[in-house]
Amino acid sequence: MPLSRRAHRSPSRPAARTARLALALLPWALAACAGAGPRHAGADLYHGFALVDPEAERVVDEAYLLVRDGRIVELGHGAPPADVAPAQRHDMRGTYALPGLFDTHAHITSGPHKVELHDGAPRIGIESVDAITRHHARTALAFGVTTVRNPGGDPVANARYDARIAAGEWIGPEAVHAGAVIQPPPFGGSAFAYPRSEAEWDAEAARQAGLGMRYFKLYTDLSREELAAGVRAARRHGLTPIAHLNAVGWTEAARLGIAGLEHALPTSPDLLEPEAKATYEAGLGPDNRYIHRWFELADFDGPRIREMLRVLAEREVEVSTTLVVNELVANVDDLDRVYPPQDRAYAHPETMDAALTFLQAGRMNEEDHRRARAALPKALELVRRLHAAGIPILIGTDGNGGGPPLARELDLHVQAGIPAWEVLRLATSGAAARLGIGERTGRLAAGMEADIVFLRANPAEDVRRVREVAAVVSDGRMHRFEDLVAPERQEAP
């Protein structure tokens, strides 16, 4: 776990506090001469911005904060205190400060999808490429993402990511990871694993835990028995079992002990009422039609979906909803509508090309796309019901971290009927709490890590504006948006 890089705390300075009382009226320079030193010596001062606080649902004008050793040491509004001697002053007038954003489904270490021949058979793999990962990390941070939950990737590459970020060799968000995704062939290579016995399950979970992974990702083609074995192996090694499922239904998975579900795609036949289930199963093929067909056939007021909502809520199973995935699949024929070329340009060209090829392999015709678009409101309705049932929602993109799709993801949640303040909470303090790091990040308060995004517009008025990043603070350093994206975009064709 990358906790250690954040663990450094400066010793508290009670002597300096006492001195502050005595010398409060003296200019800091005089105080320094007197040998007591001003408060927060060496801290950076950020001032003049509006503080956006999703927890309190308020915007505080003319705010300031002091950051030292990567932590917020003081926060206030009005004129900055006179008795501090900042190492640097950052005039942030005209910006809105929000806690650093979370992308809870970000494959930050994934390279491009590739189909290769391996021992004479085609193998689908997603190998990690350091130059591409470095690009993902900078881009995520440029768009204000200071933490990602990586739902699967080569655990060796993930551990290397943590080490490079901790050492300051790479600039990017903190990551909590799942390692190799558990899925049978044709998926393979270092980003996938497929244990075939209890001993192999145990060895794989032990390996991933040993590399610092936090989650154990179980995938679409596993049987009920395999899922159960995966949950047991994960729990034995302190990993949280999460799943992207197709065959096994969400209700069943929750009962087996799955803690988190990926994507607003509960596309199992088991969640449909008998007649709809038969229709659905009869039309299943090697294409992406199953998604809109499932939504067309699902009865949200029927006993099966109601039971699912009850069981997920009871067990506090979290869902990383990634509504941009539903939207992308429905609009593969006219991608520019939902993901214009100027937005795609922020992604790494190799991962973007591979992702588009992968999407186009869904074999949908014009009629399918029309139906898929018509079914989208039902995906939003599902998310509204998940939220209304008290099921924890995680905001994520299924991309490589942040970028324009994250703003779109937030907006889709507003369109689903979740209030903007609540959506901003889900993307900051709510995510931090779900990831188990809410005591040190996700909120702007004294003592918290200085994970801050300064926006050019108020996101509480329109969540889409979270993409208008002026600067981001991570690990105590401020980066301008342009400085993080410019060199990478010059490399792109």
Which region, judged by CB under 5 A, interacts with Zn ion, from 108-116, 160-168, 198-206, 397-405? 397-405
Q: How far apart are the first and last CA of the chain?
A: 36
Binding mask 233-252 for Zn ion (x = CB under 5 A): --------------------
Minimum distance from CB of 58 to Zn ion (Å)?
35
To Zn ion, the closest distance from the beta carbon of 150 in angstroms equals 9
Residue 370 contacts by C-beta under 8 Å, 6 or more apart in sequence? none
Shortest distance, CB of residue 107 to Zn ion, whole angstroms? 6
Question: Closest CB to Zn ion among 103 and 368?
Answer: 103
Which of 3-11, 27-35, 280-288, 390-398 is the region at the interface with Zn ion (rule: CB under 5 A)? 390-398
- Nearest Cα to Cα of residue 331 among 344, 321, 318: 344
Q: Which residue is nearest to Zn ion (CB)?
A: 398
Question: Could you tell me the smallest distance in angstroms from the CB atom of residue 81 to Zn ion?
Answer: 46
Helix (H) or strand (E) holding 200: helix 198-210
Q: How many residues bind Zn ion (CB under 5 A)?
A: 1
Which is closer to Zn ion, CB of 398 or CB of 451?
398
d(CA 469, CA 476) in angstroms, rounded, equals 17
Q: What residues contact 51, with CB distance under 8 A and at least 6 apart?
A: 59, 60, 63, 65, 75, 77, 96, 97, 444
Closest distance to Zn ion from the beta carbon of 322 (Å): 7
Of 44 and 398, which has the nearer Cβ to Zn ion?
Answer: 398
- Candidates 103, 398, 411, 475; binder of Zn ion (CB under 5 A) is 398
CB of 398 to Zn ion, least distance (A): 4
- CB-side exposure of 247: number of CA atoms within 13 Å? 11
184 or 476: whose CB is closer to Zn ion?
A: 184
Cα(281)–Cα(268) distance, integer angstroms: 10
Sign of CA dihedral 158, 243, 263, 444: negative
Q: Cβ closer to Zn ion: 318 or 468?
A: 318
Which is nearest to 368 in space by CA: 326, 330, 328?
330
Distance CA 451, CA 428 (A): 10
Task: With contacts defined by CB under 5 A, name the span among 229-237, 295-303, 394-402, 437-445 that binds Zn ion.
Answer: 394-402
Question: What burial class does residue 203 get, using C-beta atoms within 10 Å of its C-beta: 0-12 exposed, 13-18 middle, 19+ buried?
Answer: middle
Q: Which residues of 36-68 are buried (b: 16+ CB within 10 A; e: fewer)?
A: bbbbbbebbbbbbbbbbbbbeeebbeebbbbbb
**Toward Zn ion, which CB reaches closer, 103 or 398?**
398
Site string for Zn ion, 409-448 (x = CB under 5 A): ----------------------------------------
Smallest separation (angstroms) from Zn ion to the CB of 416: 20
> Under the rule (CB under 5 A), what is the footprint of Zn ion?
398
